[in-house]
Chain A
Amino acid sequence: MSEIKGRAEKSRQKQAAFGPDLNLEEFSRQGGDWQYDPDYRHFSPEERSHLLTAGIELTDEDHAATFLQADKAIVHCQSRQPGVEILPITEAVRRHDWAKDLLWGLVAVDADKYTARAELELDNGYFIRVRKGMAIAQPVESCLYLRTDRFAQHVHNLVVVEEGAQVHIITGCATHPGVRSGLHIGVSEFYVQKGGQLTFTMIHNWGEDVHVRPRTAVMVEEGGTYISNYILLRPVKTVQMYPTVTLNGEGAVARLQSILIAHPGCELDVGGRVILKAPRTRAEVIARTLTTGGYSVARGHLIGMVPDIKAHLECRGLILGTGVVHAIPELEGRAAGVDMSHEAAVGKIAAEEVEYLMARGLDEEEAVSTIVRGFLNVKIEGLPPALEEEMDRAIQETNKGL
C-alpha cells in the first residue's frame, strides 16, 4: 500500500475540524450509469433550466472548455482551445506523471474522513491545465452533478495555470431536480504559477438534504493572482469548507469573495484562509452572509508570515427574521511590519435605510429587496446573465419569507 493510501486508511473515521459530523455509511455509492453525451442530448428541459441556476449552460459555445461529471460518470469533457487541456483526473494522471505528483501536494490526505474517502474511493474529477502564456478569454465551465438520490460523490480536482497564463473557471455544482439528499466531497488543488491568473467562480445549487464538504487549497507563485468567488443562494443541508490559499512568491495576490444565504434548516460553516509567505503579497477576504433562519458560521483567517504584506478581512452578516450568523475573523501576524485588518458586522436591515428608500418612492418590499440586493452585491466579472437573474429571483423569494 502506498504511503498516501496508508494515511488515508488511518483517517477513515477522522472527524473534520469544523462543521457537523456525518455518518458516511448513510449514503449510497451506487451512482447512475450515465453515458457520455457530446451534444448534451440526454438532458431534459427541466434539468437544463435547473443547471442554469448553478451557472451551467449546457453548450460548448462561449466556453473555452467544458467538463461535466454526473455521479461517477464523465458525461462531457471537451476543449475548444489549444491552450486549455481538460481531462478527467483519472485520465490526467495516466497521461502526465507530474500531475500525479501534484495530487495531495496542497491538501493533506489525512485531514479528515472526507479527504480520506476521496483518496480511497475516488469517482473522478476534473483536470484543467492552461498552458504557459495563454490568456483564455472565454470561461472554462465545469459541472459536478448529483443525479442520483442519496449518492455520495467523491471527486478530486486539479488545476494548473502555467507561467503567465490566465483563465476563468466557472464551476457549477448541482443536484438533479428530483434529488433531495446526497453528499458531495470535492478535493481541489490549484497551482497558479509565476505571473499566472486564476479566477475561480463556484456556484452551488444543491438539494435541501445534501451535505457538501469541499476541501480546497491553492498555491500562488510570484506575481500570480487567485480570485475566488463562491455563491450559495439555495437551500442545502450542510456545507463545511475552509479553503486555504498560500501566497508563496513575491507580489502574489488573493481575493476570496463569498455570498451565502442560509435558509431555515441550513447549517453553513464557510471560511477563507490566506497565508502570506512572501514580501509584497496582498490578500482580501470578503464574506456576505444572509440568514433567513439558517445557522451560519463565517470564518476568516489571515496569516502574515513576513514583513511588507497587506491583508484585509471583511465579514458582514445580515439576519432577516430569525437565524444565526457567527463571524469569526482571525488575524495572525508572525512578523513585525505586517499590515492586516478586519471588519466584521452582523445585524438586521436598518429601519432608517428602508425609510430612506421609501421616501424616494419605493414600497417597503421594494426597499428591502434593494437593500438585500446591495448587501449581496459583490462584483463578479463574467457571470452568465442567467445567474444574475437567478440571484434576483433568490432575493425576491427570500423577501417573501419576511
Chain B
Amino acid sequence: MAPKASFGGFLFTFEVVMLEIHDLWVNIEDKEVLKGINLQVPLGETHILFGKNGSGKSTLLMTLMGFERYHLKQGRISFLGQDITHLPTYERARLGLGLSFQRPPTIRGVKTADILRVCSRGAIAPEVLAAAYDFTEFLDREVNHGFSGGELKRSELLQLLAQNPKMVLLDEPESGVDLENLQVVGEIIAQLLQKDRRRQHRQKSGLIITHTGFIMDYVHADRAYILIDGRICCQGNPRELLQDIKNYGYEECGRCRR
C-alpha cells in the first residue's frame, strides 16, 4: 500500500521512489552488458532479479554502486530523487546504498571487527552485533580470509546491518550457504528489509539477485524481473515468474515477452 496524502479535500495516493533506473547502458571493457534497463523500486518494496549467469544481473548491482570497471554509456540512476549517476562509490554508500557481494574479496591484516566499525562509522559496537548473530569468534579474523560460503554471506550481511542502508542490494545471498545457515541468512535479510513492519512503515527497499528463490520464503518480494542478455524481458509477480522459469526455462521467457 502506498503512502497517502490529502490536499484540499482530495485524496492523492503517491509513491515514494527509492531507486529509479532509466535507460541504463553499461559496458565492461568493450562488451555491451546492459542494454537499456528501466526499473523503479518504491520505498518499502523488495524486487527480485532473475536471469541466467552472464545476463547482466551482477553488472546491474555493481553499476548501482558505481564501481570503476562498469562503464556507464548512457542512462540515469536516481536515489530518493537525487541523481547519483556520477557519484563515487563511497558517497553512494554514505547516502544509503548497501551491497552484499556475491564473492567478496579477502582483506589481509584487517579484522572483521574493524570493517564492522567502518560500516557503522563507529555507531555500533562490533561485539554487540556479533554476539547477536553468533559471529563473535570471527571478529578477530581477517576479513573473509578462509571463510566458508555460509560464513562469507553472514559476514556480508552483518556488515550491511552495521551499515544500515536504505537500499539493500544483495547478490545471490544464498549461494554457497548450507541448509543450517540458510535460515540465519534469511532472517538477517528480513531484518535488513524491516519485514517485521507493516509495508507502509518500512523505510527500506531491496533489490535481490537469486537463482533459487529461496530468499522469497523469508522476505515477501513485491516484483521480479527476468534479465536476458542485458535487457529486462519480463516482469511481474515473483512467485509466478519463478514458476514459469522452473516450468519453461529462461529461453521460453525470452520468447514470451509479456
Contacts and interface: CB of A to CB of B under 8 A. Distances in A.
Interface of A: 350-353, 355-364, 367, 370-371, 373-378
Given A351-B68, A357-B118, A360-B115, A370 B110 contact: yes
Given A360-B93, A361-B93, A364-B90, A352 B118 contact: no
Which of A359, A364, A370 has the most B CB atoms < 10 Å from its CB? Answer: A359
Contacts of B67: 355, 359
Contact of B105 (A352, A362, A370, A373): A352
Contacts of B115: 357, 360
Interface in B91-134: 93-94, 98-99, 101, 104-105, 107-110, 114-115, 118-119, 121
Nearest to A378: B109
A350 B105 contact: yes
Nearest to A375: B109
16 contacts: A351-B69, A353-B105, A355-B68, A358-B88, A358-B89, A359-B90, A359-B93, A359-B99, A360-B118, A360-B159, A361-B93, A361-B119, A364-B88, A370-B107, A371-B110, A377-B110
Given A356-B104, A361-B93, A361-B119, 5 more contacts: A353-B107, A357-B115, A359-B101, A362-B118, A378-B109
Contacts of B207: none
A366 B223 CA distance: 37
Given A355-B67, A356-B104, A361 B109 contact: no
A374 B109 CA distance: 4
Nearest to B98: A359
A356 B90 contact: no
A356 B107 contact: yes
A361 B159 CA distance: 11
Contacts of A377: 109-110
Contact of A361 (B90, B104, B142): B90
A374 B88 contact: no
Contact of B89 (A359, A376, A378): A359
Nearest to A377: B109
A66 B119 CA distance: 44
B163 interface: yes
Interface of B: 65, 67-69, 88-90, 93-94, 98-99, 101, 104-105, 107-110, 114-115, 118-119, 121, 142, 159, 163
Contacts of A378: 109
B108 A375 contact: yes
A210 B32 CA distance: 55
A359 B118 contact: no
A283 B109 CA distance: 21
B143 to A, nearest CB: 8
A361 B94 contact: yes
A374 B107 contact: yes
Contacts of A376: 109
Contacts of A370: 107, 110, 114, 118
Can you list the 4 inter-chain pairs with the closest CB atoms, starting with the nearest? Answer: A374-B109, A377-B109, A374-B110, A358-B89
A356 B101 contact: yes
A375 to B, nearest CB: 6
A357 B107 contact: yes
A360 B119 contact: yes
Given A370-B118, A371-B110, A358 B105 contact: no
Contacts of B104: 356
A362 B90 contact: yes
B71 to A, nearest CB: 14
B107 A371 contact: yes
Contact of B90 (A353, A358, A373, A375): A358
A355 B89 contact: yes
A371 B121 CA distance: 17
Which of A364, A367, A374, A377 has the most B CB atoms < 10 Å from its CB? Answer: A374
B88 A359 contact: no
A361 B163 contact: yes
A360 B96 CA distance: 10
B118 A374 contact: no
A319 B105 CA distance: 19
Contacts of A359: 65, 67, 89-90, 93, 98-99, 101
Contacts of A361: 90, 93-94, 118-119, 121, 163
A353 B65 CA distance: 14
A356 B110 CA distance: 13
A376 B107 CA distance: 12
B105 A360 contact: no
Which of A352, A360, A363 has the most B CB atoms < 10 Å from its CB? Answer: A360
B111 to A, nearest CB: 9
Contacts of A363: 88, 90
Contacts of B94: 361
A360 B90 CA distance: 7
B195 to A, nearest CB: 23
B83 to A, nearest CB: 19
B64 to A, nearest CB: 10
A376 B110 CA distance: 10
A363 B118 CA distance: 11
A203 B150 CA distance: 41
Contacts of A374: 107-110, 142
Which of A356, A363, A364, A375 has the most B CB atoms < 10 Å from its CB? Answer: A356
A166 B94 CA distance: 50
Nearest to A370: B110
Contacts of B88: 358, 363-364
A287 to B, nearest CB: 14
A350 B69 CA distance: 13
Contacts of A373: 109-110
A370 B108 CA distance: 10
A361 B101 CA distance: 15
A374 B112 CA distance: 12
Contacts of A351: 68-69
Contacts of A364: 88, 90
B189 to A, nearest CB: 17
